[in-house]
Amino acid sequence: MPGRTAGTACIVVGATVLTLLSTTVAHAEGRGDIRVTKTVVNGGNNVIVGTSARVTYPIAITIRDDSGVKGLTRVSVFNKSNGWGFSDWVDTKCEAKSSTTSVCTAKMTVAPAWLADSVPGDVNVSAGVWQVNATVRAKDGDYWISDHIAEFKMKRASKLTTDASPEPVAKGAALTVTGKLSRANWEDLKYHGYTGQNVQLQFKKAGAARYSTVKTVKTDGSGKLGTKVTATSAGTWRWYFPGTTTTARVVSTGDTVTLK
């Protein structure tokens, strides 16, 4: 694996080209009046990558020039703080909205199998806030190298389980609710317990429409959760993790408990 250098380098993993980007000085330069006026990544949602499924996400870039828009010649995405990234730019479609404005949507894809070899060191440090750079071109030859035109979060996928026992439970008796929070490790492509995280225990009374938070519990050194509550009515218990900058929000499947 090549060392960290300024600029852009490419490596080949299988038949797919990955772009590695190290930190560069932000700039915006070019020629003429062409500009990016709006950029939306993945419809405004986080990009969440797990351990097996390929993830494809769009970057919709609104471009304006008096002569009309020719298209994109470069799109890159990478972590804002450390400069490393992984995404393959696989396609672009431009739709003219007027004689001067077009929306060019770049399709980006990530396969988890690429990740361990995508950056030097632990690829998990690449999770977090990312930015988008692009070069846009007009029909009259104008171009603009547009840096930092959008930010989004590239997150590690997470899993959460719930088990409430005993089932059924006597009214007024103690009910034990356990679970486990884990998240994708992009190095070994497995899920590992996520330690030291605050997770909300939620309850929905039978016949109710919504869950309410009962208490917050911190995961242990293995990502496990456990607490006791008093069973006052039948209903469904679940755990809710709101997520972090690097790890996706997740809600467990509910476990319904009846009274005896």
Looking at residues 35-56, what average pLDDT do you find? 98
**At 46, which CATH number?**
2.60.40.10
Cis link prior to 120 (omega < 30° from 0)? no
The residue with tokens 């930190």 is 23
Determine contact, residues 153/199, Cβ cutoff 8 Å: no
Same domain, 67 and 111: yes
Q: pLDDT by residue (tens digit) across 75-121? A: 999 999 999 999 999 999 999 999 999 999 999 999 999 999 999 99
Q: Is the residue at 1 inside a domain?
A: no
For residues 133 and 168, membership in a common domain is answered with no
Q: How far is CA 217 from CA 137, 141, 187, 213, 255, in A?
A: 52, 59, 28, 11, 17
Query: Is the overall model pTM greater than 0.85, yes or no?
Result: yes
Domain co-membership, 101 together with 193: no
Q: Domain limits at 239?
A: 158-257
Tokens standing for residue 241: 């993790």
What does pLDDT average to over the chain? 90
Query: What per-residue confidence (pLDDT) applies to 28?
Result: 62
Mean pLDDT of 155-161: 98
Strands 8-13 and 16-21: antiparallel
> pLDDT tens-digit profile of 125-147?
999 999 999 999 999 999 999 99
| pLDDT for position 12 | 27
Taking the C-alpha atoms of residue 166 and residue 169, their distance in angstroms, rounded to an integer, is 6
What percentage of the chain has pLDDT greater than the value 70?
89
227 and 100 together in one domain: no
pLDDT of residue 27: 54
pLDDT at 13: 30
* pLDDT of res. 29: 83
On whether both 97 and 223 belong to a single domain, the answer is no
Question: pLDDT-based confidence at 20, cuts 50/70/90?
Answer: very low
pLDDT at 244 over 70: yes
Q: Is the pLDDT of residue 8 over 70?
A: no
Is 2 a domain residue?
no
Domain end: 132, 156, 180, which one?
A: 156
Domain co-membership, 146 together with 215: no
> 97-123 in b/e burial notation, b at 16+ Cβ within 10 A?
eeebbbbbbbebebbbebbeebbeeeb
Residues 132 and 172 grouped into a single domain: no
